């Protein structure tokens, strides 16, 4: 009996917590802007083309952060992606930047930028670090190398980190402090109302989701349903660079 009482008490407290979160974060914010991004590396093969089929069918703009190795291996696919979507850098070989020396970090960043720029025939302005993490030293390199923004989910030097002047920062949405990645549909398909109510940056009207093509393609139908639902809600899909440019332009 005592064990059952504790379970019921725990369940009640969980409901109270959810209700409090909904009350604080669930109000209507008016216009919603959605960023979709896809971290792309050689393991993804040709799956980005299937993702683009869905995006283009709904007229949705997205950002693909590709590694230099992917651009080198699949240049024609990257060119195809670049026709309708933004292409950003994801380092050259998907190494953890936080484990590298400053020189090694710069090589990974610059080599990626040069390779991807050559493939798409244009300048690359956006960056996302592999394995979620970026450090202050890497962000300073991004600024020095002419990037406009960083879209890495986690900064590794603490919660209250100094910003890098001249470098925009595009945050990834989180669900109860967990960055939103490919498992998004697990929450969304089961409790869509609750899911959208507790997004970390819902109050700003901005939602940012991260996917990996070889993972999300396993749930292609659910992914398409997710896009379709958002389209019915008349959200505004834009690329990362357009968001940064919009804010810089005032």
Residue 25 has pLDDT above 80, yes or no: no
Mean pLDDT of 145-157: 81
pLDDT of residue 187: 55
Percent of the chain whose pLDDT exceeds 70: 68
CATH number of 2-248: 3.20.20.370
Q: Are 67 and 41 in contact (CB under 8 A)?
A: yes
Per-residue confidence at 159, pLDDT binned at 50, 70, 90?
very low
Residue 7 has pLDDT above 70, yes or no: no
Name the residue ranges covered by the structural domains of the chain: 2-248
Q: What is the DSSP letter of 163?
A: P
Mean pLDDT of 235-244: 93
What is the per-residue pLDDT across 29-65, written as a single tens digit (0 to 9) for each?
567 899 999 999 999 999 999 999 999 999 999 999 9
pLDDT of residue 248: 55
* Tally of CB atoms within 10 A around 220: 14
Q: Which of 9-13, 76-80, 142-146 has the lowest mean pLDDT?
A: 9-13
Residues 6 or more apart whose CB falls under 8 angstroms from that of 68 comprise 89, 91, 92, 93, 111, 112, 114, 115, 116
Per-residue confidence at 212, pLDDT binned at 50, 70, 90?
very high
Strands 206-211 and 33-40: parallel
Cα–Cα distances (Å) from 238 to 34, 56, 60, 116, 149, in that order, read 7, 13, 8, 21, 15
pLDDT of residue 222: 84
Q: What is the DSSP letter of 158?
A: -
pLDDT of residue 142: 96
Cα–Cα distances (Å) from 144 to 117, 149, 189, 227, 244, in that order, read 17, 12, 42, 36, 18
pLDDT of residue 2: 54
Q: Which of 135-144, 174-183, 222-231 has the highest mean pLDDT?
A: 135-144
Q: Which of 83-97, 132-146, 198-212 has the lowest mean pLDDT?
A: 198-212
Q: Give the angle subtended at the CA of 181 by the CAs of 177 and 185, to the nearest 5°.
A: 100
E strand spans, the chain: 33-40, 63-66, 86-89, 126-127, 133-134, 149-150, 154-155, 168-169, 174-175, 178-179, 206-211, 236-237
Q: Which of 43-57, 112-126, 182-196, 226-240 has the lowest mean pLDDT?
A: 182-196
């Amino acid at each position: 009996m005592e064990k059952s009482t504790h379970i019921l008490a725990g369940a009640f407290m969980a409901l109270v917590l959810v209700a409090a979160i909904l009350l604080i974060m669930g109000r209507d914010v008016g216009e919603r802007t959605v960023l979709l991004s896809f971290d792309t590396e050689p393991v993804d093969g040709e799956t980005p083309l299937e993702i683009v089929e869905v995006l283009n069918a709904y007229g949705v703009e997205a950002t693909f952060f590709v590694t230099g190795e992917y651009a080198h291996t699949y240049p024609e696919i990257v060119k195809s992606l670049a026709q309708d979507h933004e292409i950003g850098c994801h380092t050259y070989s998907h190494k953890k930047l936080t484990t590298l020396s400053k020189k090694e970090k710069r090589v990974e960043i610059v080599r990626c930028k040069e390779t991807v720029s050559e493939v798409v025939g244009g300048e690359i302005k956006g960056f996302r670090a592999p394995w979620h993490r970026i450090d202050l030293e890497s962000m300073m390199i991004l600024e020095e190398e002419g990037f406009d923004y960083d879209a890495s989910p986690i900064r590794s030097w603490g919660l209250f980190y100094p910003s890098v002047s001249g470098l925009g920062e595009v945050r990834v949405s989180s669900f109860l402090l967990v960055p939103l990645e490919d498992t998004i549909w697990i929450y969304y398909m089961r409790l869509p109302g609750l899911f959208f109510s507790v997004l970390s940056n819902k109050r700003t009207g901005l939602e940012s989701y991260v996917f990996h093509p070889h993972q999300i393609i396993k749930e292609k139908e659910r992914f398409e349903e997710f896009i379709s639902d958002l389209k019915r809600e008349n959200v505004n899909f834009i690329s990362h660079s357009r968001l940064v440019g919009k804010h810089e332009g005032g």
